[in-house]
Amino acid sequence: MENPEQFQFSHTPIDAGKYRAGPYELGRTKIIEELIPDGRRRKAIDLGCGSGYFCEVLSSKGWSVTAIDTDPENIESARRFVSEARVGDAIGVLSGLPQDHFDLILTLELIEHMPRPYGKKLLKEIWRVLRPGGTLLLSTPNRYSPEGLGGYYWGEKVRGWGKWDAWDDTHVHIYNSREIIRLLRRCGLIVERVTGYWYGGVLPLIGRWRLPLRRSSLFPLNRLGFNIILECRKR
């Protein structure tokens, strides 16, 4: 239930193998890896780092990485790739970090795991700790995707089949592409590029489907991916 007063951050160990578990994850992670620039020893944060898969990618590209996660097992796994590791929820840890200090922040599949008021707090703290000109890479499921249109608008709202959670019962709020872009802008971030990614799925009345196109950064297709990846910059 999306009730901020009852919300508690979860502690979920993540197996690094999930990022190589199938074509969908392989395609998604490849896009994100391509979007991570060279670091040249600049400072980056991996929020909700999981087992440290993207910490390793960041480190290999020359970034000095701070890993943040609620789960101690995840942090122990990520520690070998980072210069600093902190256990705690993203908002709480960010609030204790210095302002205008980091050049890049990854927030991958995280914001949908918290109520909307927490999501706004998260983005405000990200804005605070980013340097002017710093970059945020954020990825999240999208309610405006074919799966979201079928699962949320048709299944949940019209047919009453229960909450559509994008196949993860730890998801609290699934944003649509317009909603998350608007929120990012309200929090002072410039959205420079949106990449939509989809692989295939199951839709009411249609059944299993698959599109020949896997990714797009062109409007309006980039607003319709099941997963959307947003590149943002602090003014």
Around 105, how many Cα atoms within 13 Å sit in the side-chain half-sphere?
31
pLDDT tens per residue across span 184-196: 999 999 999 999 9
> Averaged over 153-176, what is the pLDDT?
93
pLDDT at 213 over 80: no
Q: What is the mean pLDDT of the chain?
A: 91
What's 175's DSSP letter? P
DSSP 218: S
The four Cα atoms 176, 177, 181, 182 give a dihedral, to 10 degrees, of -50
Q: What are 90's two structure tokens?
A: 């993203």
At residue 231, the pLDDT reads: 98
Instruction: Work out whether strand 102-108 and strand 43-47 pair parallel, antiparallel, or are unpaired.
Output: parallel
Residues in a beta bridge with 208: 202
- What whole-number percentage of the chain has pLDDT above 90? 76
- Give the DSSP H/E element, type plus range, for residue 35: helix 23-35
CA distance 190 to 135: 9
| Beta-bridge mates of residue 194 | 230
3-state helix/strand/coil string of 44-75: EEEECCCCCHHHHHHHHCCCEEEEEECCHHHH
pLDDT band at 1 (very low <50, low <70, confident <90, very high): very low
> How does DSSP classify residue 212?
S
Q: Of 24 and 68, which is predicted with more confidence?
A: 68
pLDDT at 67 over 60: yes
At position 93, the amino acid (one-letter code) is V
Residue 213 zone, left/alpha/beta (φ > 0; ψ -120 to 50; rest): beta
How far, in Å, are 7, 97, 154, 165 from residue 161 at the CA level? Answer: 24, 43, 9, 12
**Domains delineated in the chain:** 8-234 (3.40.50.150)
Dihedral sign of CA atoms 157, 155, 218, 122 in order? positive
Q: Position of tokens 């003014």?
A: 235
pLDDT at 146 over 80: yes
Q: Which two tokens stand for residue 22?
A: 């199938």
Reading the block at residue 34, the tokens are 């391509």
